[in-house]
Structure 1
Amino acid sequence: MTTDDGPPEDAPAPVPVAKKPPPQGPLPVPFRWLWAGASASNLGDGMLLAAGPLMVASLSREPLAVALAPFAQQLPWVIFGLLAGAVVDRVDRRRLMVIVNLLRCVVMAGVAVVIVTGTVTLPILYVGMFLLGTAETFADNAASSLIPNLVPKRQLGKANSRLFGTITVTNQLAGPPLGALLFGVGIALPYAGYAALLAVAAILYARIRVPLPAAAFPPEGPAPRPASLLREVREGIGWLRRHFAIRTLALLITSFNITFGATLAMLVLYATEQLGLEEIGYGLLLSASAVGGIVGALIFPWLERHVSYATLMRVGLVLETLTHLALVLTHTAWVAVLVLFVFGIHALTWGSVSSTVRQRAVPDPLRGRVNSVYLIGGVGGMALGSLLGGVMGQLWGFQAPFWFGFAGSLLILLLVWKPIRHVARAGDHDDPPASELRE
């Protein structure tokens, strides 16, 4: 096998029909420890989604001041993303997750202390968010890269769907109202609670025992480590550039996040002006997608057994394209709720499939670096989409980004419709020889 699946113009060999996987048993115990740790940390993340803006708003009512807090937390993904990938591929990923979550715990405990002492300021809060985002850049990459070492290849889809479903519950449904409630009781409580949850996550991650280290490598072993982090980063980017399927997947998530980010930026104006909803109604509109994600997690094992990955990906991209059109055309709240509910099922399914394809296809020594490029594309795409949506909404009205999202998604869908079957089959075969992983 080569490291390139072959783009469509190279006329690759016909793709064999995938066999339906047999029913699966319970997920391995090591993954359950990771799953539990991720549940704890993501509950804290969800609490911060509500407590963070409330804290900033208590210090300043300026829109720019409020917007700078999430920006400070997302900026490290762009600055340190590639470096984080190289580090993840160099060190013990389980140990890195423990250390990084303890550091996140210290940062959040520090923020809680300055709030209690009355010395908190916006610059201190921004620095805390930046440090938290920097730690998340390493922690999230390490967790994603570790999963294939904890779960047999045939169970990766089930593991990813369970993990994403739990993140949806903790991060989007349970965390925000809990964070707002604690903030109302005492403004430092959400941050102290977050610190405690991160400590719990670190303890749970420490219980992980990795049963499948560097799985599926041939006798000659992995490629020798390059001498510098810069060279390791270049190696990861070079591998992704040469691998048609994973390169296409990275471009897909980036481009679709741009189109969806543009729509999401105007969703609050759409909800209030076109649907006539108030604050509670807008919250329910957002919750519809989260509920869809939970349903997606529950039905994904059945979908994986009965529907090919190529079909799931194609149907998902069609649904995402039609989401923009359906939203901009409807003026009825319950229709918009239904559309976002279905979108939530698609988002969970797409995330599970794309993560599984990536985990199967990328060799263990390169997984962190390739993940970093993919994650930067995803986060950067949302950020760029939000900026574009704001500009288009300012110039042509809040509906313009919805039409942009539909047209852009449709164009991307037409371009990838045929090659998506090659993307879906990436990693179904054995990993390439170590000699093919070298520059």
Structure 2
Amino acid sequence: MRTLFGPRIGAGFNRLWAASAVSNLGDGVTMVAGPLLLVSLTDNPALIAGGVFAGQAPWLLFALISGAWADRLDRRRLIVAVNLVRALALAALTAAVATGQATVWLVYAVVFVLGVAETLADTAAGALVPAIVPAEHLDRANARFGFTFTVINQFAAKPLGAWLFGLSAAIPFGLDAVTFAVSALLVLTLPPIPAADPEPRRGLFTEIGEGLTWLWRHRLLRTLALAMGLGNIAFCAAFATFVLYARDRLGLSSVGFGFLLTAFAVGGVLGSLTAVRLARSLGATTVLRAGLLIEVAFHLVLAVTTHPLVAAAAIVVFGVHTMVWGVTVSTLRQRLVPSRLFGRVGSVYTLLESGGAAALGTLIGGLLATVWSLTTPFYLAALSMAAIAAVAWKPMSLASKATPTTTPADSHTAHSPDSPHLPSSVPNTPHLP
């Protein structure tokens, strides 16, 4: 706990942290209420998976453009604007649900708007962190975001979301709308942070190409992005219909489903409390390699078990892994990516690691569950992760050698992207405002 909350990071960080905490409450509630709303509207596994895909598709379509704009614009104002858009979209969904006018297609539309806004907000917020946090405290900052995410979003909000949905299906979405508005006001109190790239604009696609080229030439970050991109295809295929898996295979009610999801939070809390210490004592390479093995075992356990407690225990271990992995990789990226490329490299990384992969995996999972069974995606995910671990094992040796040689202010200095000794920046926190 002292490692996580030891030194003061700064008032600017505290406000960004508070904004993240508030929006994570609303998001966690909606994460449970959304699938429950879809299940109340349809029992078709493909249509339920479509709701997840509607939120993931914007990362596939707009991630690269969002990264370029995050490097061009005042990131603070960008976050405020898109959070207000998200608040309005959720307010519209709340009204539709309250009046009995909600349809599957309306849910898709609102979720898609939220996803488009998320590509801009998360990319810009991720680039804000290294701008307001000293380099020596980046790992602690990432761990604090992770701690807040798991305690609020996954632990407290999910059973709350299931309970609120039981009271009235409209309440969770209304609460999420309010939290986005509050988050926007908190971010508005931050001092203006101008665009990071002072150079003349060279054309949107030229700027996007710079981010793509830089990431692709960096062996370690390229390996991490591709490994987790393929891993997220497998994960999202398995979890696209998780609400049906919990109901039909584990025999859980809607409240039980909410509590099952909190098992991720239990692991996440443990992971956030130990991530900094583990990475510093064991080294990044050992942490990342162990994470790949945990993913293989996790999918196998869920494929074979029919007991909720066994599934919950596996999810706790997986939650520890995801938090430790996230903090470790976020800090690596913050220390390796040049300041002027924060947004673009971050968006390319997110597209490869989670955005496009998640969308593709969700579509595959819905199809597999419809054609075969709810456990088929878990078996395939385990096999996929075993293959990924074998290929990524050797390149991950570079992780423990990755140390910065410059500060963000020096980021215009030329560096070889294949060298592990590069400048600093850009995170992949669980959810920023």
Structure 1 residues 149-158 or 78-87, which shifts more?
A: 149-158
CA distance in 2, matches of 1:250, 1:36: 29
- Which one of 249, 253, 259 corresponds to residue 234 of structure 2? 259
Asked whether 1:406 is paired with 2:388, we answer no
Aligned residues: CA RMSD: 3.2
CA deviations 1:228-274 (Å, max 9, x no partner) are 11211111111111122221121121011122223334656665676
* Displacement after TM superposition at 1:87 (Å): 0.3
**Alpha carbons 2:67, 2:123 under 8 Å: kept:** yes
Query: CA 1:45–1:213 in structure 2 vs 1: closer, same or farther (change >3 Å)?
Result: same
Q: 1:169 to 1:22 in 2, by over 3 A?
A: closer
- Matches of 1:427 and 1:124, distance apart in 2: 48
What corresponds to 2:271 in structure 1? 296
Q: Is the contact made by 1:223 and 1:434 (CA closer than 8 Å) also made in structure 2?
A: no
Separation in 1, partners of 2:405, 2:228: 23
Secondary structure of the residue aligned to 2:81 is helix
**2:64 corresponds to which residue?**
82
Percent sequence identity over matched residues?
41
1:434 aligns with 2:409: no
How many Å separate the matches in 2 of 1:110 and 1:367?
33
Equivalences for residues 260-299 of structure 1 within 5 A: 260-265=235-240, 282-299=257-274
* 1:417 pairs with 2:393: yes
Shift of 1:120: 4.8
Counterparts of residues 46-125 of structure 1 (less than 5 Å):
46-59=28-41, 63-116=45-98, 120-125=102-107
Change (3 A) 1:41 1:413: same
TM-score (norm 1): 0.83
Q: TM-score, normalised by structure 2?
A: 0.84
Task: Report the equivalent of 1:18.
Answer: none
Which one has a bigger Cα radius of gyration? 1
Of 314, 334, 338, 1:363 maps to: 338
Q: Which residue of 1 aligns with 2:421?
A: none
Mapped contact 2:48–2:241 kept (Cα < 8 A): no
Cα distance 1:238–1:145, how it changes in 2: closer, same or farther (>3 A)?
same
**Deviation of the 1:349 alpha carbon:** 0.5
Partners of 2:49 and 2:365 within 8 A in 1: no
CA distance in 2 between counterparts of 1:41 and 1:85 reads 21
1:129 partner letter: V
Q: Which amino acid aligns with 1:363?
A: P
The separation in 2 between residues aligned to 1:123 and 1:328, in whole angstroms, is 31
CA shift at 1:357, angstroms?
0.9
Residue in 2 aligned with 1:7?
A: none
Structure 2 Cα separation of the partners of residues 136 and 22 of structure 1: 27
Partner of 2:8: 26
1:181 and 2:148 matched: no
Q: CA, structure 1 residues 235+346, in 2 after alignment: closer, same or farther (shift >3 Å)?
A: same
Gapped regions of structure 2 (runs ≥ 5)? 418-433
Shifted more, 105-114 versus 285-294: the winner is 105-114
The SS at the match of 1:303 is: helix
Contact 1:150–1:210 (CA under 8 A) maintained in structure 2: no
Aligned residue type for 1:74: Q
Deviation at 1:195, TM superposition (A): 1.8
Provide the C-alpha distance between the structure 1 equivalents of 2:365 and 2:98, rounded to a whole number of angstroms.
38
- In the alignment, structure 1 segments of 5+ residues that lack a partner are 1-20, 215-221
Q: Is the 8 A contact 1:316 1:346 kept in 2?
A: yes
Which residue pairs with 1:15 in the alignment?
A: none
> Post-superposition shift, 1:383?
3.0
Q: Distance in 2 between matches of 1:308 and 1:322?
A: 22
| Pairs aligned (count) | 412
1:85-108: per-residue Cα shift (whole Å, max 9, x none)? 100010111121112112222222
Cα distance in 1, alignment partners of residues 406 and 300 from structure 2: 41
What is the CA-CA distance between 1:379 and the residue it aligns to?
2.6
CA distance in 2, matches of 1:137, 1:22: 28
SS at match of 2:414: helix
